[in-house]
Structure 1
């Protein structure tokens, strides 16, 4: 974690914020004593929205019908074709 004094923090705030955006944490000190910390904000993940793909995905009427015997045998056999 980097440490800068108050004067340097005021002078180079834009550059320090760029470093924070990149994930770095920076301590601001007065007379060598830490008084504040610049750290990236944790952004919460968006909750999953049900129905987002409604009318964009189609499931066939027969999607769960049994496979033909020859294809089923290929899945069940241990040999590769």
Structure 2
């Protein structure tokens, strides 16, 4: 974690932004009292690598694409249960 004063932040804003983009926590303080945290909107750490799971699925059942006959019934039951819970929450 890096802490900078307001004056230092004004003077070295580009440097602080680079540190935040690299994932470092940057705090801007006034008289040693932390005021704000500078952080990247999209951190490098959060990027996903495409294709990381290629080759992991080694078997797919022949009926994989067939419709699940009881799925519609299950979905209706779950939907009814959710509505019942919402109604009971309103009563409380």
State TM-score, norm by structure 1. 0.50
TM-score by length of 2: 0.44
Q: Higher helix proportion, which one?
A: 2
